[in-house]
Structure formats: C-alpha cells, structure tokens
Amino acid sequence: MSIYKLANTDNWLGRSTDQQLYLHEKVKLLNLQEYEYQKEYKTYALLGYSSDEGVRRNLGRTGSALGPDAIREQLGKMPNHLNENTQLIDFGNLECKDQNLEELQEECTIAVSKLIKNRATPILLGGSHDLAYAHYNGLLQHIKPKEKIGIINFDAHFDLRANTDGNNSGTPFYQIALEHEAKNEAIKYMALGIRKDANTRTLFDFAESQKVNYLLQDHFSMSYLEHVQLRLIQFMEDVDYIYTTIDLDGFSSAYAPGVSAASPMGFAPDIVLESLKLIIDSGKLVGLDIVELNPNFDIDKQTAKLAASLVHYVIHNL
C-alpha cells in the first residue's frame, strides 16, 4: 500500500483576515477516506502525489516528492475570489512506499475515481509525471463506453518512452496508448511545447504512429496564438472530456528553474494561460494536474509560485 498522509495545516499559512480574503482561510483539510458528496457545493479537490520515484527511474534529478507541499505553501498566500458555494479541499498526499511506483499509481487511480464519484474536480499536485497514468485511469472509470476523453499535455517531452523496465516519469502516455491499442482504440493525445532537443527520433516516430497531435515549442507562443487556438479547438471538438496535465519542465527555466529537467528553451506562461482559457471555456475539463516541481532547485520559490498561480487561475475560471 502507498502511504496516505492527511493535509498539514503548516502548508496553509498567510495573512489573517475575518473575511476569508486568502485561500489559506478558505481551504478545508479533510480525510479522503471519509469524504462524501455535498450537493450544495462545487468542489475543487487538491491531492498530492508526493513521489519522485518515476524521475529516479528515468535518470532525472530527484526532489519532486517535495513539490505538492511547496505548491500549497504559495497557493495559500494568494487571494480568495471563490464564492461561498465553492469549496477548496486539501485531501493531503499519497506517498510512494518502498519504491513501489506501480502500487502508488493504483492507489492514485482509486483516489481520483472516488473524487469523481463524489463530484469533485481533481487537481493533483506532483510529483513526477508518472502521476498522469494514474490520474487518467481514475477519470476513465467514469467515462461511458462511447465517450472520448482527450489528453492535453503542456510539456517539452512526449513522455512516450516504453516501460519495458518498469513505469517511470517518461512512460505514462505510452502506457495509455498501448492500453487503447489493445482495445482497438486510438489515444486522444495532444502535446503542446514539444522540443526536438528533448525527444529522440524514435519518440517522434512513435508519436506519428499513434497519430498524436503536437505543436513544437517553436510554434507554441503568443506569436502563433491563432494557430494554437485553432489546433486546440479542432482537438477538443473530437472529444467529450478533457484531462489537462502541465509539466513544469516545459516552461523556460527563466520562469521555472525548479524542475526535474530544466532548460532555457521552453515556453512562457502567457501562451499556457491563453490555452487554459480555451480549455476551460470548452466546458469539458474534468481533471488537472501540475507535475515535476523540484523545490531543491528552485530560485526564490519562483517555480512553486508559477505552479500555484496556474492552480489559482483554473479554480477561479472553471
């Protein structure tokens, strides 16, 4: 079994008011195992995936297990503009036990499924990107047979590496693709910000074989906004639901130095925010996660603040 730890009040500190002006005053800390649907509220559910085992297996620099709490610390200080009928709940962290990543993914899938069953919108905080395989499978359990769920991944990497030697942070969408292939279905996957200097020729070939929609980082910028929007609209029209995953290493290290695989060649926050707006406006977003924050390499908590701002944007616009 993975280790489940309840949310820690120390991660939610900030200015005190008597009007819940800040999110640390708004958030509730609850036990996922005891939670039940409350029909009077719209609920955003934070759940940490506190593991960097997938990064270790993928030969990256470890530290992303500390990511979920680092995001919470910055999110709690941000202003609260949610209405009284909207809940923000922190359900704590799932941690990897004895380097058993596969078991952690199974537990995370169960947790996501429970959140969806209780009509909460899951917002998962990572942690390494192997989180995506678990998150997607949890959402998939509540999709009807003829419905389609599309994956939109903001990332420098396809994460389509084969899991021959076990699951890791580079294999989640390969695993999903193979499972769809076994059912004679095509994966509905769009990757935004892909870099040629971060993916081998074989990864591009596999992406082509799976008919993956992708935009290279060269064309994922505000200079190509209309093209980005058109590609997103075309992709979303073909699916019923959208699962969005944001890998912070896709951003330029000018914005996100504290990640597992930093590079100055990434994208900027503005094009991501414009893309998120379009995704949210579609009414199809059912789950979001933010992954690969590595506080060990952050500068002035800049990357944690970026991650928190992305969460803040989504919960106030969804």
Report CA Rg, the chain. Answer: 18
148-165 pLDDT tens trace? 999 999 999 999 999 999
Q: What is the DSSP string of 145-190?
A: TT--EEEEEE-SS------TT---TT-HHHHHHHHHHHTT----EE
Alpha helices in the chain (DSSP H): 23-26, 53-57, 67-75, 101-117, 131-140, 172-182, 201-209, 225-237, 269-281, 302-317
Distance CA 119, CA 41 (A): 10
Confidence class for position 39, pLDDT limits 50, 70, 90:
confident
Q: Is residue 223 predicted with pLDDT exceeding 80?
A: yes
Residues with Cβ within 8 Å of 253's Cβ and at least 6 positions away in sequence, in order, are 259, 262, 263, 264, 266
* Cα 71-73-75 angle, rounded to 5 deg: 65
Looking at residue 2, its pLDDT comes to: 78
Reported pTM? 0.97
CB of 54 closer than 8 Å to CB of 129: yes
Pairing of strands 241-247, 285-291: parallel
Range 224-249 average pLDDT? 98
Range 123-141 average pLDDT? 98
Looking at residue 145, its pLDDT comes to: 87
Q: Is 100 exposed, middle or buried (0-12, 13-18, 19+ CB in 10 A)?
A: middle
CB of 266 closer than 8 Å to CB of 256: yes
51-81 pLDDT tens trace? 999 999 999 999 999 999 999 999 999 999 9
CB of 89 closer than 8 Å to CB of 31: no
Range 208-216 average pLDDT? 97
